[in-house]
Amino acid sequence: MAVLLWLAGLYLRVPILVAPPLAPFISQDLALNQTFTGALTALPILMLAIGAMPGSFAIARLGPRNTLALAMTIMVLGSASRGLAPEVFTLMGASAVMGLGVAMMQPALPALLPRWLQPHHVAVGSAIYMNGMLMGEFVGAGLTLPVLMPLLDNNWRLTLLAWSLPALVVAAALFLPRRDLARPVKRVSWLPDWSNPLTLKLGLLLGLSASMFFGLNAYMGSLLEQTGHFDKLAGALFWYNIAQVMASLMMLRLARLWVGRRDLILWMASLSIIGTTGAVLTDGWWAIASATFMSFVAGILLILLVGLPPLLVRSEETGRLSAGTFLVGYTVAFTIPMAGGLLADLTGDVRHGIAVMIGYSVLVLPLAFTLDLKTQKGQPEG
Q: How far is CA 141 from CA 3, 13, 58, 81, 229, in A?
A: 21, 9, 30, 19, 18
Question: In 3D, which of 86, 1, 3, 90 has the Cα closest to residue 40?
Answer: 90
Residues 6 or more apart whose Cβ sits within 8 Å of residue 350: 34, 219, 222, 223, 226, 344
Indicate the pLDDT class of residue 187, thresholds 50, 70 and 90: low
Indicate the pLDDT class of residue 376, thresholds 50, 70 and 90: very low
Full set of structural domains in the chain with CATH: 2-178+190-370 (1.20.1250.20)
User: With 70 as the cut, is the pLDDT of residue 212 above it?
Assistant: yes
- Read off the DSSP letter of residue 166: T
Question: What's the pTM?
Answer: 0.79
pLDDT score recorded for residue 128: 81
> CA 130, CA 152: separation in Å to the nearest integer?
29
> CA 139, CA 86: separation in Å to the nearest integer?
26
Higher-pLDDT residue of 18, 278:
278
For residue range 320-367, list pLDDT tens digits in order.
777 788 889 988 988 898 899 889 989 989 899 999 999 999 999 999
User: With 90 as the cut, is the pLDDT of residue 57 above it?
Assistant: no
> CA 375, CA 378: separation in Å to the nearest integer?
9
Average pLDDT over residues 270-294: 94
Residue 30: exposed, middle, or buried by beta-carbon count in 10 A (0-12, 13-18, 19+)?
middle
